[in-house]
Amino acid sequence: MKKTFISKTKVEEIVKTYPTPFHLYDEKGIRENMEKMKEAFAWNQGFKEYFAVKATPNPYLIKILSEYGCGVDCSSYTELMLADAMGLKGEDIMFSSNDTPAKDYQYCHQLGGIINLDDISHIPFLEEAIGEIPETISCRYNPGGLFKISTAIMDNPGDAKYGMTTPQITEAFKILKEKGAKNFGIHAFLASNTVTNAYYPTLAKLLFEVAVDLQKETGVKIKFINLSGGIGIPYSPDQEANDIKVIGEGVRQVYEEVLVPAGMGDVAIYTELGRFMLGPYGCLVTKAIHEKNTYKDYIGVDACAVDLMRPAMYGAYHHITVLGKEADMADKKYDITGSLCENNDKFAIDRMLPEIEMGDYLVIHDTGAHGYSMGYNYNGKLKSAELLLKEDGSVKLIRRAEKPSDYFATFDFSEYYDKLK
């Protein structure tokens, strides 16, 4: 059974001020996890975590991570705006984008961020956009084929739209060097949400070997290797969590096996984790408001896929706790549904849970990353608030719930606007 970081009593206190549904984040858990992350990679002098803003674009949460030296991984103009507003500049910003508009490159360059090129064709595009090639630059690598750990297929990079082939990245480094680049980085993302300690060390060995070959063949100075994301979390109770200490040690071993003998023992290791950094430390709190008994038993809650899209979009599993009934028998089979006019608007299908009564509070686990951020406004539904459970037990509003005026704000040119506000 998964345990929540919030009690029924605390939720009953919170809803007096902030009605359900809302996303709630655990500051204590976030800080403890960040400490473990830093310790796991302390062996690498240049190590830096660039938090993937796309996972949870909230400045209050990013501020907590920045207190531990984290930078940000941005992929759009507005994510760069968020970084800028927080005072993050220079090498605290990694810009990993694809099909990138010129204005995005221009903004990142203005901020002094590190640009991570997705394709060799972006070299002349970037040069035209900003008028030069930056001294520090990175390229995204895609080895193609299937990515395996032992005999298990983890993902199929060959089908991914991201990154350069081996010949392309080799040629890209030569071109960039000729155009004035002095410090180079390599980046790759080959599998998503892996729940195995072997993923990062396996990826690291692949990239380290590529880095050694590239440095020999092109004569460039490789400053950093970015292992990107991919370290997952155990969404279901039967999965075992990754051990970041074991992962860090595995990367260290292949670092010393591959890079150190090649004279590259000064290469910095970067990561771009979103899910691992925040996923388990957020939850969606919602209330049961309807029960329907037809061909199945349905519990309707006041949240919907607007608040958490992953179950509807991917069929993803998110564990559910009925607050106050943690010790009760899970002997009732329910579909837990939202109110959208879409049959896939379900947080759980045929889920065994304790008997749910109207007014019960349900906690949907592991929404701290790719939860709120993937929301949308179908059916005119409004996105919920985000709250932070602070270490002292107090609760802070870190994003208010949307209002109808927010939904209609893009009609501000229209004769209907004043009536819609």
Instruction: Indicate whether 419 belongs to any domain.
Output: no
Residues 18 and 32 reside in one and the same domain: no
Split into its structural domains, the chain has a count of 2
Residue type (1 letter), 214: L
**Containing domain of residue 119, as a range?**
27-278
Cβ contacts of 285 within 8 Å, gap of 6 or more: 6, 11, 14, 20, 21, 22, 23, 24, 361, 362, 363, 364
What pLDDT shows up at residue 1? 78
Q: What is the mean pLDDT of the segment spanning 205-214?
A: 96
What pLDDT shows up at residue 160? 73
Under the banding of pLDDT at 50, 70 and 90, the label for residue 144 is confident
Tell me the per-residue pLDDT of 349-399, one tens digit each, with 9 for 90 and over: 999 999 999 999 999 999 999 999 999 999 999 999 999 999 999 999 999
Residues 299 and 394 reside in one and the same domain: yes
Residues 15 and 78 reside in one and the same domain: no
Under the banding of pLDDT at 50, 70 and 90, the label for residue 418 is confident
Taking 80 as the threshold, does the pLDDT of residue 174 lie above it?
Answer: yes
Taking 60 as the threshold, does the pLDDT of residue 100 lie above it?
Answer: yes
Quick check: bond before 19 cis, omega within 30?
A: no
Tell me the per-residue pLDDT of 67-79, one tens digit each, with 9 for 90 and over: 999 999 999 999 9
Of residues 269 and 194, more confidence is placed in 269
Residues 260 and 334 reside in one and the same domain: no
What pLDDT shows up at residue 145? 67
Q: What is the mean pLDDT of the segment spanning 344-351?
A: 98
Q: Where a domain ends, among 278, 302, 327? A: 278
Q: What is the mean pLDDT of the segment spanning 15-38?
A: 98
**What is the CATH number for 364?**
2.40.37.10
Q: Where a domain ends, among 228, 247, 278? A: 278
Taking 70 as the threshold, does the pLDDT of residue 285 lie above it?
Answer: yes
Of residues 1 and 215, more confidence is placed in 215
What pLDDT shows up at residue 161? 81
224 HSE (CA, 13 A, CB side): 27
Residues 167 and 304 reside in one and the same domain: no
Residues 54 and 148 reside in one and the same domain: yes
Q: Which residues pair with 396 in a beta bridge?
A: 388
Residue 263 Rama label (left phi>0; alpha psi -120 to 50; beta): left
Residues 106 and 204 reside in one and the same domain: yes
Q: Which residues pair with 270 in a beta bridge?
A: 48, 226
A 10 A CB-CB count for 343 gives 8
Alpha helices in 131-243 (DSSP H): 166-178, 199-218
Instruction: Indicate whether 257 belongs to any domain.
Output: yes
What pLDDT shows up at residue 191? 83
Residues 69 and 93 reside in one and the same domain: yes
Q: What is the mean pLDDT of the segment spanning 38-56?
A: 97
Under the banding of pLDDT at 50, 70 and 90, the label for residue 192 is confident
- Count helices and strands (H / E) in the chain: 13, 19
Residues 17 and 33 reside in one and the same domain: no
Q: Where a domain ends, among 278, 312, 342? A: 278
Residues 123 and 253 reside in one and the same domain: yes
Taking 60 as the threshold, does the pLDDT of residue 324 lie above it?
Answer: yes
Give CA–CA dist 114/127, Å, rounded: 14
Average pLDDT, the chain: 95
Under the banding of pLDDT at 50, 70 and 90, the label for residue 152 is low
Residues 38 and 166 reside in one and the same domain: yes
Taking 90 as the threshold, does the pLDDT of residue 248 lie above it?
Answer: yes
Instruction: Indicate whether 112 belongs to any domain.
Output: yes
For the chain, give the percent of residues with pLDDT over 90: 91
Residue type (1 letter), 162: Y
Residues 339 and 265 reside in one and the same domain: no
**Could you identify the residue written with the tokens 């595995």?**
250
